[in-house]
Structure 1
C-alpha cells in the first residue's frame, strides 16, 4: 500500500485527472439512468467536443510556454467564414479550400507570434486584439448573414464514419478489429516503456501494478470501440483526433522541439542561456496555434453545415479550461497533450451530463467555472507542497 501511495503522489497530476474523469462519468451515468454511455450519446459526445479538443491540443503548447491565446474562437469563426466563401460562393474544391484555410490560419498565428516573440508585447494583449479583430472581420465578410450549405464531402469531416470493409450489419466489424489492433499497440508500448526503465535502472512499479494498468487500458479501449461499433462505428473526426494526439505527444515527449517548449516555459532565461532560441520557439508555437484554430473552425463549420457570425463564441475559454483541468500549470513549463484531451473530456462529459439531467445553462456555466478554479487551486497547492 505504501508503494501505491508513493506511486500516486509522484503521478498525482496524471492519475488525479483520470480519476476525476472516471468519477464524473460514473456520476452522470447514474444520474441520467444510463443514457450518458449509450452508443448514440457517446458518438455525439465525440462529435460535439471535437473542435474544442483540437483547440486544446494547440492551446496546451501555448500554456506550457507560459503564454495564453484569447483569439482562437474568433480565428475559428473567421476561417469557417472564409471556407464558406471559397466552397459555397466561389465553388472551389473542398480539398483546396481546406488547404488554403489552414494556410491562412498559420499566417494569422505567425502575425500574432511576431508581435509576441519579437516585439515582446504580452500574449494576453496581442491575442485580445486578435479576438476583437477577427470577430469583426468575420462579421464583415459574412455581412451579418450565414452561408450554407457546404458540399457533402466537406460535411463528412464532422458527420461521416469509417466504412465497414467487412460488411457488418448489426455491428461495425472494422471498429472491433481496429480496437484489437490498438490494444496490441498499447500492450507493446507499455512493455517497451517498462523495459527501457529497467535497462536504465529507473524505479518501476511492481509487475502486478503494471499488469493491472495494461489490463485496464486494454479493457477501456475494447469497451469504447465496442460501444462505437454498436452504432455507426468510428467517426472520421475521431481518426483526425487520434492522429493529432499521436503526433503532438511524440513531438512533446520525444523530439528536441518539445524539450525546447518545456524549457522555455520552465525558465525562459535559463533556456536562452542553454542555447534554446526562445523567440523562434514562441513564434512557431503561435503559428501552430493559428493552424489548429483554423482546423477547429473547419470542423465546427462542417458539423454546423453553415458559417455564422457567432461561431466560435467562448471556444477559447473551453480550450483554456481543458488545459488547466488536464494538469497544465498557469505559470508554464508543465502540461501534456493527453492531459489536455482528458481535461476536454471532463468538460464535455460535464456539459453533456448536465444537459441530460435538465440543468440550465446558468448552472452549467457556474459549475464549470468552479471546476476550473478548483483545478488551478489544486495546481498551486501541489507546487507549494513540492517547494
Structure 2
C-alpha cells in the first residue's frame, strides 16, 4: 500500500509536467483522425514547422520572461521592425544578405536594451514598458518601410526559412541525415533529463520512479524519430528546424543548468528573497529583455525570409501566440514556474490545432474561439493546482 501511495504522490506532483505531453499526444491523435491522416503526412509536417517556427522561437524567450514574473507585449512589433531593417539593408540598398541579418540582430539587441533599461533600472512594470514598445516599434516599422512592403529577398536569404538539407548521406527514398540528426537530438535530450534527475536526487528533491522516467524519455524519443521519419520522406530536414533545435537545447541548458537560469526562477518565485540572497535582479532583468529582443530579431528574420517580404503589418498578434504557448506549456501566471520544453510543446499544441482546423476548412473566427478556450483552460488548470497545493499544505 505504501508503494502505491508513493507512486500516486509522485504522479500527482508531476501531473503539471506530464499532463502537457499527454494533452499534446491526444490532440495530435484527435486531429489526425479528424483530418483523415493528412495532419501527419510528410508534406504537412514540413509545412507545419515552417509556418509556426517563428512562434516557437518567440515562445522560448517568452517563457523565461514569464518565469521571472514579467510579460512582453512588444515581440510582434519587434518581429516586424527587425524584418523591416533587414529588408532595407538587403532589398532596398542591395547589400549582402548576411549584413541584413547582422543589422536585424543588432536592432533586436538595442530594442532589448531600451526596454530592459525602463524595466530594470527605472523600475516601470514590464507590462507598461512593452505595451509602449508595441506601439513604438510598430510605428518605427511603418516609418522604416514607408508604409509599403519591400520584396523580394535574394534566394540566399529566403533559404533561412525555406531551405532544406537533403541527400547529405543519401538513402533509398529518404534522407538519412535527418534520421541521424534526430537520433543525436534524442541522445542529448535523454542525457539532459538524466542529469536533471541526478541533480534533484543530490538535493533530496522528489523525482518520479525510474520506470516512469524511462517511459517519458522513450515516449519523447519515439515522437521525435517518428517525426524525423516522416519529414525525411518529404523535402528533407528544414534548415529552420536545425536552428530551432539548437535554440531549444541551448536555452534548456541555460535555464536549467546555469546560475543565470537559477536566478531567473529565484526572482519569479520570490523577488524579495532573491534580492536578499544576493541575486543581481537588475542585471538579470536587463539580460532577459536583451535576450527577448535578440530572439524577436531571429523570429523576424525567419518570418521575413518565409514570406519573402517585409510588411508594416507583419508580426500582428505574435505576442499573444507566444504568451499562450508559454502558459499552455505550464508556465505559472505568478512566475517562478515554467520550462522551455513546456513552452515548445504549448506552441506545438497551438500549431497542431490551427493547422488541423485549417485542413478541415474551419473558419478563422472559430479557430480564434477554440484557441482562446484552450488558453483559459490552461490558466485555470494552473490556478486549480495552486489552490489544491495550498489546501494540502
Name the TM tier (shorter chain).
Answer: over 0.9
- Give per-residue Cα distances to partners, 1:28-87, cap 9 Å, x unaligned: 101001000001111111111100001011111111111111111011101111100000
3-state SS of paired residue (1:329)? coil
Answer yes or no: is 1:365 the counterpart of 2:360.
no
| Aligned alpha-carbon RMSD (Å) | 1.8
CA distance in 2 between partners of 1:135 and 1:311 (Å): 9
Cα pair distance change 1:190/1:51, threshold 3 Å: closer
Paired position in structure 2 for 1:11: 14
> How many residue pairs align between the two structures?
387
Comparing 140-149 and 341-350, the one that deviates more: 140-149
Match of 2:75 among 43, 52, 72: 72
CA distance in 2 between partners of 1:13 and 1:330 (Å): 14
Cα pair distance change 1:2/1:299, threshold 3 Å: same
Match of 1:339 among 338, 342, 366: 342
Match of 1:86 among 81, 84, 89: 89
Tell me, which stretches of 5 or more residues in structure 1 are unaligned?
A: none
Paired position in structure 2 for 1:217: 220
Deviation at 1:99, TM superposition (A): 1.4
CA distance in 2 between partners of 1:43 and 1:36 (Å): 10
Paired position in structure 2 for 1:157: 160
CA distance in 1 between partners of 2:281 and 2:319 (Å): 24
Answer yes or no: is 1:278 the counterpart of 2:281.
yes
CA distance in 1 between partners of 2:186 and 2:330 (Å): 26
CA distance in 2 between partners of 1:72 and 1:42 (Å): 26
CA distance in 2 between partners of 1:317 and 1:97 (Å): 27
3-state SS of paired residue (1:66)? coil
Paired position in structure 2 for 1:37: 40
Answer yes or no: is 1:57 the counterpart of 2:64.
no
TM-score by length of 1: 0.95
Deviation at 1:244, TM superposition (A): 0.5
Deviation at 1:181, TM superposition (A): 3.2
Comparing 166-175 and 97-106, the one that deviates more: 166-175
Deviation at 1:176, TM superposition (A): 2.0
Comparing 148-157 and 188-197, the one that deviates more: 188-197
CA distance in 1 between partners of 2:269 and 2:214 (Å): 34
Cα pair distance change 1:271/1:189, threshold 3 Å: closer
Paired position in structure 2 for 1:237: 240
- Give per-residue Cα distances to partners, 1:291-335, cap 9 Å, x unaligned: 111111110000000001110000000000100001101111111
3-state SS of paired residue (2:237)? coil
Paired position in structure 2 for 1:116: 119
Aligned ranges 1:221-300 → 2 under 5 Å: 221-300=224-303
- Give per-residue Cα distances to partners, 1:234-257, cap 9 Å, x unaligned: 110111111111111111111000
